[in-house]
């Protein structure tokens, strides 16, 4: 049984009354874990037919997710291929509430490591623009890796303070998710480190920060747009009262729905989510990232794979780096400084084109040359080994069954491993 902070326990006792004993008993069972199938790569039904470990029942509030209790599901080959994302089940309730649709402008303001970003992207099906922002640069890099692993093509990953985003893109987004940093009362089982960090001072600090983030989100949202505010905590200061105070400061918003998942009432560790709508009003456009025309890059890409029609290139130069990187822009890509301005295609120094890992993960299924491996063979590739092949000289996409894992470059019957070192399997 987890040793919970005394003051937290007292507060929950007071709030829940006779339900407290059931709430408290929920801490005696192991944390619930979930797996969300990535429909950008495979349907939930098809994944069930080849799942390498048993899956439990469906998560009621997310159409592609199941409860699971596997040993190291993050170490499986299919995880490397981006067929699924591992996420605590109740945390899956917030993104569907936003009801994102194809072609919309969507912002995930506090996005790392990307659970909800990847969920939103699945509903957008590669259309519109999804800005996934994470203030912490190190965490933003992990977010970028997750969007790439899942083969997301329409996402810009940024690492900006919400205030700066609000200055640049007022009244721009159709939908915004604010999955705020919080005191994490729903994380006590999954991350016991959160227990000693808990205090009433921290609850107050989190509430103040959430208030600031929400006020910036209010500026970023277009008239008629929707906003979901969520936390993984139970403190009313950060949940119901935060929403109440926001509505008092922002009469242009109304509350449409509010959910509080508590661990003794649902199969999940607990989450809070509120859906708000902004009154009809202005929707502003933004300056967009300029398209780059490069026949040479288009030619190199065409030799590797059959890309979808209408791809718009964007050239990004990093100071001090000779070869510029090329991206495929989302439908609408606002001019923002970003870690990823859409899908990374590769770098081109004027002579040689080096394809990006993200390109293989998103469009590798359309490659002209594929090296198809079994699950066992794929493990060796994921460990960084070379692969013998009868393919001729040049780049190929290495796949486990039909699912891309990364690039290989063949010389004399051997595919050299081009999987980035940081993404390799380590055990």
Distance CA 203, CA 226 (A): 26
**Among candidate residues 413, 425, 412, the one with its CA nearest the CA of residue 385:** 425
Q: Write the interaction track for ligand SAM spanning residues 268-297; mark x where CB under 6 A is met and - where it is not.
A: ------------------------------
Residue 8 is inside which H or E element, if any?
helix 6-16
Query: Least distance to ligand SAM from the beta carbon of 183, Å?
Result: 11
Nearest to 84 by CA among 147, 144, 37: 37
When asked if residue 136 is in the footprint of ligand SAM (CB under 6 A), the reply is yes
Tokens encoding 219: 């500026």
The binder of ligand SAM chosen from 5, 75, 170, 181 (CB under 6 A): 181
110: contact with ligand SAM by CB under 6 A: yes
Catalytic center residues: 232
Cβ 118 to ligand SAM shortest distance, Å = 8
Task: Provide CB contacts within 8 A for 18, sequence distance 6+.
Answer: none
> Is 179 a binder of ligand SAM (CB under 6 A)?
yes
Specify the DSSP class assigned to residue 422: G
Report the run of H or E that residue 22 belongs to, with start and end.
Answer: helix 20-25
Distance of closest approach, residue 398 Cβ to ligand SAM, in angstroms: 28
Size of residue set near ligand SAM by CB under 6 A: 16
Residue (179 or 347) nearer to ligand SAM, CB: 179
Stretch 41-80: interaction string toward ligand SAM, x if CB under 6 A: ----------------------------------------
Q: Is there binding between residue 162 and ligand SAM (CB under 6 A)? A: yes
Rank residues 62 and 347 by Cβ distance to ligand SAM and give the closer one.
62
| Separation of CA 395 from chain center | 29
Q: Is 89 a residue that touches ligand SAM (CB under 6 A)?
A: no
Contact of 135 with 109, CB cutoff 8 Å: no
Q: Which is nearer to ligand SAM, 86 or 307 (CB)?
A: 86
Q: How do beta strands 55-58 and 105-108 pair?
A: unpaired
Task: Candidates 39-47, 66-74, 111-119, 339-347: pick the segment binding ligand SAM (CB under 6 A).
Answer: 111-119
Q: Which two tokens stand for residue 395?
A: 């780049």
Q: Taking CB under 6 A as the rule, does residue 190 contact ligand SAM?
A: no
Q: Judged by CB, which is closer to ligand SAM: 113, or 170?
A: 113
Smallest CA-to-CA distance from 233 within 181, 186, 180 is with: 186
Give the neighbor-by-neighbor strand order of the sheet with 105-108. 253-261, 271-278, 221-231, 173-179, 105-108, 129-133, 155-158, 340-341
Count of Cβ atoms closer than 10 Å to residue 420 Cβ: 13
- Which two tokens mark 419? 């999987």
Q: Are 159 and 241 in contact (CB under 8 A)?
A: no
Query: Between 206 and 419, whose beta carbon lies closer to ligand SAM?
Result: 206
366 is a contact residue toward ligand SAM (CB under 6 A): no
Least CB distance from residue 89 to ligand SAM, whole Å?
A: 13
Considering beta carbons, is residue 29 or 163 the nearer one to ligand SAM?
163
Q: Does 123 bind ligand SAM (CB under 6 A)?
A: no
Q: Most distant CA pair in the chain: distance in Å?
A: 73
Binding positions for ligand SAM, rule: CB under 6 A: 110-116, 134-136, 139, 162, 179, 181, 209, 213
């Amino acid at each position: 049984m987890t040793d919970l902070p005394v003051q937290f326990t007292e507060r929950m006792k007071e709030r829940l009354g006779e339900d407290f004993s059931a709430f408290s008993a929920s801490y005696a069972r192991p944390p619930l874990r979930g797996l969300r199938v990535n429909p950008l790569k495979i349907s939930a039904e098809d994944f069930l037919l080849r799942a390498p470990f048993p899956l439990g029942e469906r998560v009621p509030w997310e159409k592609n997710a199941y409860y699971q209790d596997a040993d190291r599901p993050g170490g499986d080959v299919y995880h490397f291929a981006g067929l699924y994302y591992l996420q605590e089940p109740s945390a899956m309730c917030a993104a569907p509430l936003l009801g994102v649709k194809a072609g919309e402008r969507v912002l995930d303001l506090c996005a790392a490591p990307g659970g909800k970003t990847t969920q939103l992207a699945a509903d957008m099906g590669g259309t519109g623009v999804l800005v996934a922002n994470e203030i912490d640069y190190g965490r933003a890099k992990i977010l970028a890796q997750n969007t790439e692993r899942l083969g997301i093509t329409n996402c810009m990953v940024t690492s900006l303070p919400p205030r700066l985003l609000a200055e640049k893109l007022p009244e721009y987004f159709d939908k915004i998710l604010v999955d705020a940093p919080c005191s994490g009362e729903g994380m006590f089982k999954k991350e016991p480190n959160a227990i000693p960090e808990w205090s009433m001072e921290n609850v107050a600090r989190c509430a103040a920060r959430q208030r600031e983030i929400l006020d910036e989100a209010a500026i970023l949202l277009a008239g008629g747009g929707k906003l979901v505010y969520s936390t993984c905590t139970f403190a009313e200061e950060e949940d119901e009262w935060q929403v109440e105070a926001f509505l008092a400061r922002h009469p242009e918003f109304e509350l449409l729905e509010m959910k509080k998942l508590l661990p003794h009432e649902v199969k999940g560790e607990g989450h809070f989510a509120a859906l708000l709508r902004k009154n009809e009003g202005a929707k502003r456009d933004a300056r967009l990232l300029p398209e780059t025309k490069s026949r040479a890059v288009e030619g190199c890409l065409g030799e590797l794979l059959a890309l979808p029609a209408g791809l718009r290139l964007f050239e990004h130069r990093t100071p001090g780096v000779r070869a510029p990187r090329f991206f495929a822009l989302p439908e609408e890509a606002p001019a923002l400084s970003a870690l990823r301005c859409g899908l990374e295609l590769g770098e081109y120094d004027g002579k040689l084109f080096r394809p990006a890992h993200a390109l293989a993960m998103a469009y590798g299924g359309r490659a002209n040359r594929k090296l198809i491996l079994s699950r066992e063979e794929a493990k060796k590739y994921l460990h960084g080994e070379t692969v013998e092949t009868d393919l001729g000289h040049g780049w190929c996409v290495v796949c486990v069954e039909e699912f891309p894992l990364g690039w290989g470059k063949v010389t004399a019957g051997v595919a050299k491993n081009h999987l980035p070192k940081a993404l390799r399997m380590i055990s």
